[in-house]
Amino acid sequence: MTTTKIQWTKGQDPFDNTPRYTFESRDPGYTMSTIEVAIWCEKVSDYGYGAPYHREYFGSVFNSRTECGDRVGGFRKVADAKLEVEKLFQEYVELYPEDAEAM
Are the C-beta atoms of residues 34 and 14 closer than 8 Å to each other? no
pLDDT digits (tens, 9 = 90+) for 37-76: 989 998 888 777 777 788 899 999 999 888 999 999 999 9
Residue 38 sits in which domain range?
A: 1-76
- Asked whether residue 93 is domain-assigned, the answer is no
The segment with the largest mean pLDDT, out of 30-34, 35-39, 81-85, 96-100, is 81-85
- Asked whether residue 83 is domain-assigned, the answer is no
Q: Which of 72, 82, 76 is nearest to 54 (CA)?
A: 76
Write down the pTM of the prediction: 0.77
Q: How many CB atoms lie within 10 A of CB 89?
A: 21
What pLDDT does 71 receive? 96
- Asked whether residue 97 is domain-assigned, the answer is no
